Amino acid sequence: MFNLIDLLFLPKNTCYCCKEEETNDYICHDCIKTLEKVEDFKTIEGSTCYSPYLYAGHIETMLKAYKFKEQKYYGKLFAKLLADFYISKNLDYDILVPLPLSREKYLKRGFNQCELICDFMSKRISVPVNKEILFKVKDTKDQHLLSKSERSRNLNSAFEARTIEELLNKKILIVDDLLTSGYTLQEAIVTLKKAGYKNIDAMVIGKAKPESIFKSGR
């Protein structure tokens, strides 16, 4: 579990982005205006992958600090951004599924960045989080370190899904942090579909620009 002290060391009414302006919801009006929005959503295996923002500028800086410098409080800000997007698009899902990490990656990072976002998002949109149907069973190499032919092979059988009969017809929204090539989400979606789940879409915070696709890591 995450440590509450890690999450709360920024003053409650400070913008987490500029750390200067006051705000009542984690990001100030000036900062939110700087985030570049994306409207063309990728379709992966017939599933829509919503990506509200471009992986650039403040989104890129904050996401890196969140994942690699353990600045977990950003999880609250990202959850706010995704929940606001969810509500603005009138989306309607039954379950949020955080993209899982392998056990090795989890131990190394100390937390699953997608789980934390889902937990905060769930409180805002009242959709439960499910961490029991999708698992990462292979500790794959970072995609950006591999050649094009190695990338899809790397993710082969990386995930496993558990079939829970009463959930098979539920509308599932997988939540990930970053969309690069889409191979990872594709693998996760295919794995869930093979296990019998029928309605699956995905949402990420940032969509990488084509030129930065394989430089971002996970």
Contact residues for Zn ion, defined by CB under 5 A: 15, 17-18, 21, 28, 31
- Cβ nearer to Zn ion, comparing 30 with 139: 30
CB of 28: closest distance to Zn ion in angstroms? Answer: 3
Three-class SS state of 158: coil
The span from the CA of 191 to the CA of 213, in Å, is 23
Q: Which of 74, 85, 54 is nearest to 173 (CA)?
A: 85
CB of 18: closest distance to Zn ion in angstroms? Answer: 3
CB of 66: closest distance to Zn ion in angstroms? Answer: 16
- Cβ nearer to Zn ion, comparing 18 with 168: 18
CB of 63: closest distance to Zn ion in angstroms? Answer: 16
Contact 117/175 with Cβ under 8 angstroms? yes
- Cβ nearer to Zn ion, comparing 14 with 199: 14
- Cβ nearer to Zn ion, comparing 28 with 129: 28
The span from the CA of 113 to the CA of 65, in Å, is 11
Contact 96/126 with Cβ under 8 angstroms? no
